[in-house]
Structure 1
């Protein structure tokens, strides 16, 4: 995939995720929350230019830092997200103002990483950014599912036939 297509995929996924994070959404712990991050990682790792061919060690360090920032952003985002259980036993989530701060810091750090790479003369493709975004989404999803399972297990009554039926359609996470 070209750099432009990768950039468009990154922007589209980030816009979708950011736009959806401030609406209350039910968390389903049995869904494949890891699927989008896995697809992003596979697309990113298929690209041959994830490491600069002339500066492999430096670009590998920069990639590791980028992945660390992605993991930290995902963890920060997940831990600053409000999570609660409704009386019907459904676990809900909604991002907070602190989540916005986590995103701003994460984006600022990524800009800094890009600036350091530019100063060092490293070729930086969009694959590293896509890997970091995949790490962010994977860590966030994993922590939220874990929090939902631990929160919902104690408060939720045993499911009965027809418990999942509602008159109002709600968006599921």
Structure 2
């Protein structure tokens, strides 16, 4: 698949994710965690995460990208409104700050891509997939954790697996 096609697909998927986050939804759901795990797995399996011609530089950039993805997901999670409705269910809904944090996240990811490209690294779509999976998973996990804290149940989002 061409980089332009991949960029369009990624943007389309992010629009869907952002739209869904703008709707009030229960925090005790594990679908996004599984989806994030699948996206990370696809990124790893697709290969090319590390440019073997510049092993140390490429590994360092990958670690920076991973840490940045987690940090941005944690930041976005703090911008999401979490509350308990009258029936005792924890709900979440993105705010305008969440949208701005998403735009900043995309700008940072583009910046990391440009930095790697300017350093002469061969970058793959696998790195983008791992970044998206990590940032979405971090955000989903932290929002679910906030919901559990509000309800006082301590019930994990994946507790249906018991």
Deviations 1:96-151 (A, max 9, x none): 11112211221111121111112111111111111011111111111111100010
The CA RMSD measured in Å over matched residues stands at: 1.9
In structure 1, the residue matched to 2:143 is 144
* Unpaired segments ≥5 residues, structure 1: 155-173
Name the one with the larger helix percent: 2
SS at match of 2:63: helix
In structure 2, the residue matched to 1:11 is 11
Q: TM-score scaled to structure 1, two decimals? A: 0.79
In structure 1, the residue matched to 2:160 is none
Q: After TM superposition, give the deviation of residue 49 of structure 1 in Å.
A: 1.2
SS at match of 1:89: coil
In structure 2, the residue matched to 1:73 is 72
Alpha-carbon separation, structure 1, partners of 2:100 and 2:140:
18
Alpha-carbon separation, structure 1, partners of 2:31 and 2:17:
16
Alpha-carbon separation, structure 2, partners of 1:90 and 1:121:
50
Say whether the 8 Å CA contact 1:6–1:127 is kept in structure 2. no
Say whether the 8 Å CA contact 1:3–1:126 is kept in structure 2. no
Total equivalences in the alignment:
152
In structure 2, the residue matched to 1:22 is 22
Within-5 A mapping of 1:23-172: 23-29=23-29, 31-153=30-152
SS at match of 1:55: helix
Q: TM-score scaled to structure 2, two decimals? A: 0.84
Alpha-carbon separation, structure 2, partners of 1:103 and 1:95:
10
User: If you compute each CA radius of gyration, which structure gives the higher value, 1 or 2?
Assistant: 1
